[in-house]
Amino acid sequence: MVTTIGSGQMRIGSRQMAARRMRFVVAVALVLSLPGCMRATAPAGESQAEVEAAIADFNRQYLAAINSGDIDALAALTTEDHMMISSGGPPMTGKQALVDAMRGAFERFDFDESWTPLETVAAGDVAYQRGTFVVNATPKAGGEGVHMTGNFLRIYRRQPDGRWFMTRDNFNGSEGGSL
């Protein structure tokens, strides 16, 4: 039962609230069970260690592009459907959006970024990686730099040529500032 109270506010009845809670609990249980299901299967013909090594190689190339300000290398490592999600803003969707944003950042800052993966799980042609990051951005025009640390969760997809590319990048800064 929904009851309307002063100034148009709504109060949900106890049955509806209990049903919502139950749906929420079931959804959380399903999400939390996925890693356990996925961990058992590496892509066909490829061990978990091989997938982790391939993703680590991709990460080295991607970080080298960021830390050297090489927009062409970064573009070559970005899929057309890439999506970056950071706290405090809407998702940045598509390769061109990422390239445009990073071009502007490379014009203003020199970067020293590092990632520490804590977990990598693969299932078929999709993998995810969870970890921490550190970014130091030094303004090219001088002035105070930005230091940021935080957590990331990334999704990678094996491309038709067998290479792994990041397709989703979700991160939040837990210390420092924003660029």
Report the candidate in 175, 168, 165 with the shortest Cα–Cα distance to residue 153: 168
Measured CA to CA in angstroms, residue 9 lies from 3, 6, 68 at distances of 8, 6, 54
- CATH match for 42-176 among 3.20.20.10, 3.10.450.50, 2.40.240.10, 3.40.50.2000: 3.10.450.50
DSSP H or E run through 17: helix 14-39
CATH 3.10.450.50 domain residues, the chain: 42-176
Per-residue pLDDT of the chain (179 residues; tens, 9 = 90+): 444 444 444 444 555 544 444 444 334 333 333 444 444 344 557 888 999 999 999 999 999 999 999 999 999 999 999 999 988 889 999 999 999 999 999 999 999 999 999 999 999 999 999 999 999 999 999 999 999 999 999 999 999 999 999 999 999 987 555 55
